[in-house]
Amino acid sequence: MSEPISSSPNSPTPDSERKHPIDAVHFVHHAIKHAIRDAAAQHSGKVSGEGLCRILLELAVDEFGGEGANVLKQWNIQTSDDVGLIVVRMQAAEIDEANRVDQDSNFGGWFDLDQPAEQWNLKW
């Protein structure tokens, strides 16, 4: 079986080799905690990929202002696929809050920080 290919078009690195600094993991964890308390971020009692991505981007702006996108990029969070990859790894590590994210949720295509926000599939 071949190595999984990164779903991030800007990175030729396979997902299994993509690295995210601990700050990225902590920030996604922080976003999950917020999403758990936000009914709009949930679907059938679980946090959806779309909801988590929306919350994560809102938190990035709240906490880092105009530098939010740059901070996320420094942490290798370029696209919504990166968020999904971090969540999958957190679930594999049995982090309780990560298990509140719908395991069948699709993270692909919600946002790409190299594209204008108007082109994202994320709805505000």
pLDDT tens profile 41-93: 988 889 999 999 999 999 999 999 999 999 999 999 999 999 999 999 999 99
pTM: 0.84
DSSP-derived secondary structure letter, 55 = H
Would you state the pLDDT for residue 43?
A: 86
Distance CA(27)–CA(13), nearest Å, equals: 22
Checking if the pLDDT of 19 tops 80, the result is yes
User: 2 or 22: which carries more pLDDT confidence?
Assistant: 22
User: 66 or 2: which carries more pLDDT confidence?
Assistant: 66
